[in-house]
Structure 1
């Protein structure tokens, strides 16, 4: 299809635009894209907003088609994952693309970044064997966090408003599920813990009322990790009651920031987190492929973003196929 890039000209104005082929510089490789994952958080807010943007992208998988003469550890024909944007072809530093584990379905690698976001939140929660953990929001990142927290030995209570997502969460290891449209997650977590409350809550939906409920659900001196992408004013978030009286520790977790918890500095870099998640996928501890709900031809990128914009519960990971 030549070299094309996804262009966002304004609110809900998205298209594929031709772009020139970049020359290959020293230390660089040329990658032909196979799949590109779309973020249901950050990228959807861009799609709905007003900032002109060309070439946004979340996590890509492709095949190296050319390497610079001074590159020794990458070769044409190699399948790799990295971030080079929603484009048919990318020219990137050789060290910025990561070889796919042998035998792994290339589609699984579009989860490297959402998996890293989920693992960042889990590490920031400082979970321990036997902890009760509320995970608010069971979209792609929340479901991955449910699996990772369960692998950590935590007893997970998954919270969402979409019953089908809660069913998935149970299959991924959640001990209990809460339909937030019907029941109070704080009440369920207090009941499950003999009145104590959750040791840790992870808020991954980006909704202020969910962050408020996570604070209410957490025990005295417990921790709430805010890892959603919050927008606008904090309507529905009250800090005068449980937050204040229970001395809740509120932690912001962001995938591209410093180490997610004080004791992890110097050991858990962003690169290590992403590689660790992909190692867990390669060894079979985490299987993200069932979370792919739609694979859409890149020429239909506007339809792909409209799917996410609709906000239906059956839409999880949407992937562009180039």
Structure 2
């Protein structure tokens, strides 16, 4: 039997059981060990705020269409950060160079389920690097999101960058920006996360509740403002403060998943007068100017290589490993007590 975590309605979680499907040609079967929970995108489906619940994405027109939902409850197997062991390989694929073999530990996307039946081409090159703990593999996708934001920031050695939001992806962004040679100021509203940001490379931290962030950033940069700000919390007031914090002609990378109307965002203020460049970073693709050299696949593999080399620490970011049977408790924790958690992982 296969176990699958699903949302049956807003803030309603259950673990359903289904018969395991036969393995079709061209596929691998993977027994899940760990599946990371996204505190951003996943919670939009859990809370009922995801735009796909009320609109449909028209991929051809690149527009959302009103009137039809793109997804509906139950939302089944929503995750995108899985690690598991290959237990079955379609016979015609046995021995194919570059593909995982039975017994290999692999990372990828097959959702919060006890086993995944995955097209083999999607798993090429997805064997976990030697010596890397299996839990680290659950960071491949979130690490790529952070990496993508840093590439979109176009950072240069010695530049000042302010990172708004120090959840898991924000902390990884702080670390990668520091590795890129930037001087990082980390902003968050939670003291514990600011302390963790310092451990991950932030030179300065600011409390979004108490500090005049834009003014403090300008004071620390001889009045210029940051060269770049990366907003990764998905909060409109944070995006507005990021726009206030950068220099004339500076860049703001909006990498959060923003929900609802833009309350707190005023584009007639500093954004307009300082001619700020506002760009979106989204894991559906890399920055357009880098498409000849980078891909989402390269982001994921390079990030895991940095973890394997000891240049990025993911182990300290795992705050809770929760049995899959108690998945509802994991979502309640992230929804109601975010200060008590960083990366929550389901164990199957």
TM range (shorter): over 0.9
Name the residue aligned to 2:312. 286
Q: For residues 57-115 of structure 1, what are the alpha-carbon distances to aligned partners after superposition, in whole Å with 9 as ceiling and x for unaligned? A: 12100000000112223211100000001000111012323100111100011111110
SS of the aligned residue for 2:20 comes to coil
Residue 187 of structure 2, aligned match among 159, 163, 182: 159
Alignment of 1:310 with 2:336, yes or no, is yes
More off after superposition, 195-204 vs 16-25: 16-25
Alignment of 1:20 with 2:48, yes or no, is no
Q: For residues 198-225 of structure 1, what are the alpha-carbon distances to aligned partners after superposition, in whole Å with 9 as ceiling and x for unaligned? A: 0000000000000000000000001000
Residue 138 of structure 2, aligned match among 94, 99, 110: 110
Partners in 1 of 2:38 and 2:338 — Cα distance?
Answer: 15
Name the residue aligned to 1:170. 198
Name the residue aligned to 1:65. 87
Partners in 2 of 1:140 and 1:108 — Cα distance?
Answer: 13
Pairs within 5 Å for 1:87-98:
87-97=113-123, 98=126
Contact 1:163 1:179 in 2 (8 A): yes
Shift of 1:156: 0.2
Provide structure 1 residue ranges, at least 5 long, that are not aligned to the other structure.
Answer: none
Partners in 2 of 1:42 and 1:179 — Cα distance?
Answer: 24
Partners in 2 of 1:152 and 1:7 — Cα distance?
Answer: 39
Pairs within 5 Å for 1:186-265:
186-257=214-285, 259-260=286-287, 262-265=288-291
SS of the aligned residue for 1:157 comes to strand
Alignment of 1:84 with 2:110, yes or no, is yes
Q: For residues 265-288 of structure 1, what are the alpha-carbon distances to aligned partners after superposition, in whole Å with 9 as ceiling and x for unaligned? A: 221111111111111111111011
Partners in 1 of 2:103 and 2:175 — Cα distance?
Answer: 33
Partners in 1 of 2:293 and 2:154 — Cα distance?
Answer: 14
Runs of 4 or more off by more than 4 Å in structure 1? none
Contact 2:100 2:106 in 1 (8 A): no
Residue 54 of structure 1, aligned match among 76, 83, 91: 76
Contact 2:185 2:204 in 1 (8 A): yes
Name the residue aligned to 2:58. none
Shift of 1:314: 2.5
Partners in 1 of 2:153 and 2:328 — Cα distance?
Answer: 36
Q: For residues 30-61 of structure 1, what are the alpha-carbon distances to aligned partners after superposition, in whole Å with 9 as ceiling and x for unaligned? A: 00000000000010111111641112112100
Aligned-residue RMSD, C-alpha: 1.0
SS of the aligned residue for 1:313 comes to helix
Provide structure 2 residue ranges, at least 5 long, that are not aligned to the other structure.
Answer: 54-71
Contact 1:121 1:202 in 2 (8 A): yes
SS of the aligned residue for 1:70 comes to helix
Alignment of 1:40 with 2:39, yes or no, is yes
